[in-house]
Structure 1
Amino acid sequence: MSTKFDITETLDVTGLNCPMPVVKTKQATDSLAEGDVLEVVATDSGSMSDLKGWADTTDGVELLDQAEDEEGGESVYKHYVRKTE
């Protein structure tokens, strides 16, 4: 998948289940500068709704995009979060 934005950092949360993808994403975004984009790579299908819900209710972050890819016969979910403040 090609993105329309520059990825600043990638967070690998594969193998982790709810709520850890959201917890780790929040921790990672706390250390980003305004405008930075975090790519989150997960294997938990629930991360699609969990990260969207978190971003929708959290000031200072914007969910730019989400995608489901197939890697090695396993579904991988990619989320792109921008720090806005």
Structure 2
Amino acid sequence: MTLLDLTGLKCPLPALKTRKALKGMAPGETLSVRSTDPLAGIDIPALLNETGDRLMSTEREPDAFLFTIEKAGEKAGG
């Protein structure tokens, strides 16, 4: 599992950096993303809805979100 620590970054950087990290991953790999941006709780799930990657879990820490994401396989028929 790869950890992407986005502590201190504000919208839209957490979503953009998460997208970039996922593009470089193989299907089935997992990415753990930590973000202190309050909007990450909305932006990261919305990003994954768009990309088709799977949100495995969301944990809420006192000052951050911790997302565990699984990279999706290639889209069929693409």
Please, what is the CA RMSD of the aligned residues? 0.9
Which one of the candidate residues 76, 81, 85 is aligned to 2:64?
76
Deviation at 1:57, TM superposition (A): 1.8
- Report the residue type matching 2:57 in the other structure: D
**Structure 2 partner of 1:52:** 45
- Report the residue type matching 1:69 in the other structure: E
- Report the residue type matching 1:63 in the other structure: L
Match runs of 1:3-82 below 5 Å: 8-59=1-52, 61-70=53-62, 75-82=63-70
Of Structure 1 and Structure 2, which has the larger fraction of its residues in strand?
Answer: 1
CA distance in 2, matches of 1:18, 1:65: 21
CA distance in 2, matches of 1:58, 1:29: 9
CA distance in 1, matches of 2:49, 2:20: 17
**1:10 partner SS:** strand
Identity %: 29
Of Structure 1 and Structure 2, which has the larger fraction of its residues in helix?
Answer: 2
Q: Which runs of 5+ in 2 are unaligned?
A: 74-78
